[in-house]
């Protein structure tokens, strides 16, 4: 009988710890979503101010990644 009560207590403690961890993870996700939204707005603003530069940078990065991917396949 005592062993069963101990296991139930341990299970309840573990459940409480898990619930606390889940709540903390949810809070971290909310903060991360807020930061991502802020970054997204800043990026949209920067691209709106400098559209040609943004297009050139995107093209250059795509070209570089493509060259590196092709180079790695040939080895």
Per-residue tens of pLDDT for the chain, all 75 residues: 666 777 888 888 999 999 999 999 999 999 999 999 999 999 999 999 999 999 999 999 999 999 999 988 775
Give the separation between CA 12 and CA 14, rounded to whole angstroms: 5
Rg (CA), the chain: 25
| pLDDT of res. 48 | 93
DSSP 8-state class, residue 1: -
Instruction: List the chain domain ranges.
Output: 2-74
Give the separation between CA 10 and CA 48, rounded to whole angstroms: 57
Q: Residue for token digits 């207590």?
A: 9
Contact between residue 46 and residue 39 where contact means Cβ atoms under 8 Å apart:
no
The answer, as to whether pTM is greater than 0.85, is: no
Q: 3-state DSSP call for residue 75?
A: coil
């Amino acid at each position: 009988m005592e062993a069963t009560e101990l296991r139930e207590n341990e299970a309840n403690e573990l459940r409480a710890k898990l619930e606390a961890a889940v709540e903390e993870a949810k809070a971290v996700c909310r903060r991360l979503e807020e930061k991502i939204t802020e970054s997204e707005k800043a990026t949209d603003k920067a691209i709106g101010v400098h559209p040609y530069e943004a297009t050139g940078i995107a093209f250059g990065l795509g070209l570089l990644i493509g060259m590196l991917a092709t180079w790695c396949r040939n080895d």
